[in-house]
Amino acid sequence: MKNIFTHVIVISAMLFWGMSFIWSKIVFETFSPLTTIFLRLVISVITLFLFMFLMKINMKVEKKDFKYFLLSAIFNPFLYFIGENYGLQQVSAFFTSVIISTIPVITPFFVFMFYNEKITKLNVIGLIVSFAGVLIIIFSGGISAGGNLFGFIMLGLAVISAIFYTIFVKKLSFKYNAVSIIAWQNLIGAILFLPFFIIFDFKETLSANPGYKVISSLIMLGIFASSAAFIFFTYGIQKLGIIKTNFYTNLIPVFSLIFAYIFLGEPLTILKFTGLIIVITGIVFAEMKKGKEIKIADKLNN
More confidently predicted of 292 and 34: 34
Locate the domains of the chain by residue range: 4-301
Q: What is residue 25's predicted lDDT score, i.e. its pLDDT?
A: 85
Q: What pLDDT, on the 0 to 100 scale, is given for residue 13?
A: 96
Show the 3-state SS of the chain. Answer: CCCHHHHHHHHHHHHHHHHHHHHHHHHCCCCCHHHHHHHHHHHHHHHHHHHHHHHCCCCCCCHHHHHHHHHHHHHHHHHHHHHHHHHHHHECHHHHHHHHCCHHHHHHHHHHHHHCCCCCHHHHHHHHHHHHHHHHHHHCCCCCCCECHHHHHHHHHHHHHHHHHHHHHHHHHCCCCHHHHHHHHHHHHHHHHHHHHHHHCHHHHHCCCCCHHHHHHHHHHHHHHHHHHHHHHHHHHHHHCHHHHHHHHHHHHHHHHHHHHHHCCCCCCHHHHHHHHHHHHHHHHHHCCCCCCCCCCCHHHC
Which of 36-45, 77-86, 111-120, 136-145 is the least confident region? Answer: 136-145
Q: What is the pLDDT of residues 84-127, one digit of tens each?
A: 888 877 876 657 777 888 888 888 888 888 887 777 788 888 88
Which tops the pLDDT comparison, 188 or 24? Answer: 188
Q: Which pLDDT does position 300 carry in this prediction? A: 39
Report the sign of the C-alpha dihedral through residues 302, 52, 8, 109, in that order: negative
> What pLDDT is recorded for position 61?
93
Q: What is the pTM of this model?
A: 0.86
pLDDT by residue (tens digit) across 46-91? Answer: 999 999 999 999 889 999 999 999 999 999 999 998 998 888 778 7
Average pLDDT of every residue of the chain: 87
Tell whether the torsion through CA atoms of 172, 173, 175 and 177 is positive or negative.
positive
For position 296, what pLDDT does the model report? 37
Name the pLDDT band for 141 (thresholds 50, 70, 90).
Answer: low
In this predicted model, what pLDDT tens digit does every residue of 264-288 receive, in sequence order? 787 878 888 898 899 988 888 777 7
